[in-house]
């Protein structure tokens, strides 16, 4: 493991949802509140805004390289070649919400959580490849970081409002979740669990908002390591780069950044080994 690096010096208001794009070998992430979607090229060591004007809480990469954007409204759109194509305009009863973290599953469907602007409970939904949205779990205080175990037996979901990470049994043939268990509980004085990723060994990496760190857990929930960051609001993380060995970490600055690096994109080279995220296959 090498030294933590700053790779993009951009004070994102709410940097989130980093995702490695295998098609162009770049790291994508969103600034939710400033309504920008970025990409960073490790080879060229530069970054750019690729889409703006949409409050994107989460996104996946489609099999054709386009992006599936989960936004406020909450609505879902496909973005590709400079065009936005609506998939779902809104969800009845969630008009004052937006989507938060999302993840594609092996068959191309997507699990996607909502977050209320009015501090009401959100929900977890499943978007089928045919574009049908179904509620899976209701009354989540703040649906957040999601992941799968490498053997696809388990599904992990973070509820930031309750400061817990849940583990579910996952049936990849039916996309069904069952047997919810509380895997990790975080004390109030240790910040808020935010984004999440799972490495090739099945260990969970959880961004810790308000506690300046990333925490690594064994598959059964035991903490086995921490990575400290020079910024308080650590929001999310993912593996990317050669053989998915580099850990990319997003952060937030908010309205009044407390430090110079608040909102920057960080990278910890050779942090471990991750796995490629699944591609979505939503057809409309």
Strand order in the sheet with 83-88: 56-61, 67-71, 76-80, 83-88
User: Which among 31, 72, 101, 194 is annotated as catalytic?
Assistant: 194
75-165-21-117 Cα dihedral, nearest 10 degrees: 30
Residue 269 CA, distance from chain mean position = 19
Around 16, how many Cα atoms within 13 Å sit in the side-chain half-sphere?
27
Instruction: Return the closest-CA partner of residue 66 out of 87, 88, 96.
Output: 87
Whether the link from the prior residue into 74 is cis, omega within 30° of 0, is: yes
Contact between residue 110 and residue 87 where contact means Cβ atoms under 8 Å apart = no
Contact between residue 53 and residue 30 where contact means Cβ atoms under 8 Å apart = no
At 131, list the tokens. 């574009």
End-to-end CA distance of the chain: 43
Contact between residue 195 and residue 235 where contact means Cβ atoms under 8 Å apart = yes
At 242 the three-state DSSP class reads helix
Q: What is the rounded CA–CA span in Å between residue 112 and residue 54?
A: 17
Looking only at the bridges linking them, the beta strands covering 234-240 and 15-21 are unpaired
Based on the residue annotation, tell me whether 72 is a catalytic residue of this protein. no
Paired strand residues for 71: 56
The residues annotated with a catalytic role in the active site are: 194
């Amino acid at each position: 493991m090498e030294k933590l690096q700053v790779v993009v010096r951009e004070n994102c208001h709410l940097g989130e949802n980093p995702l490695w794009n295998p098609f162009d070998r770049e790291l994508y992430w969103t600034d939710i509140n400033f309504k920008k979607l970025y990409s960073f090229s490790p080879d060229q060591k530069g970054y750019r805004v690729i889409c703006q004007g949409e409050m994107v809480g989460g996104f996946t990469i489609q099999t054709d390289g386009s992006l599936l954007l989960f936004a406020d409204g909450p609505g879902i759109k496909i973005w590709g070649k400079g065009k936005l194509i609506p998939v779902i305009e809104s969800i009845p009863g969630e008009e004052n919400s937006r989507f938060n973290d999302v993840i594609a599953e092996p068959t191309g469907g997507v699990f996607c959580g909502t977050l209320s602007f009015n501090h009401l409970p959100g929900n977890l939904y499943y978007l089928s490849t045919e574009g049908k949205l179904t509620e899976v779990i209701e009354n989540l205080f703040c649906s957040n970081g999601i992941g799968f175990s490498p053997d696809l037996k388990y599904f992990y979901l973070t509820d930031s409002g309750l400061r817990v990470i849940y583990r579910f049994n996952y049936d990849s043939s039916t996309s069904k979740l069952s047997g919810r268990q509380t895997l990790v509980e975080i004390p109030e004085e240790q910040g808020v669990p935010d984004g999440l990723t799972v490495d090739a060994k099945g260990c969970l990496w959880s961004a810790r908002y308000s506690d300046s760190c990333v925490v690594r857990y064994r598959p059964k929930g035991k903490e086995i390591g921490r990575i400290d960051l020079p910024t308080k609001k650590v929001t999310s993380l993912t593996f990317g780069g050669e053989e998915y060995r580099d850990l990319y970490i997003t952060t937030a600055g908010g309205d009044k950044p407390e430090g110079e690096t608040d909102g920057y994109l960080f990278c910890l080279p050779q942090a471990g080994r991750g796995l490629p995220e699944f591609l979505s296959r939503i057809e409309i």
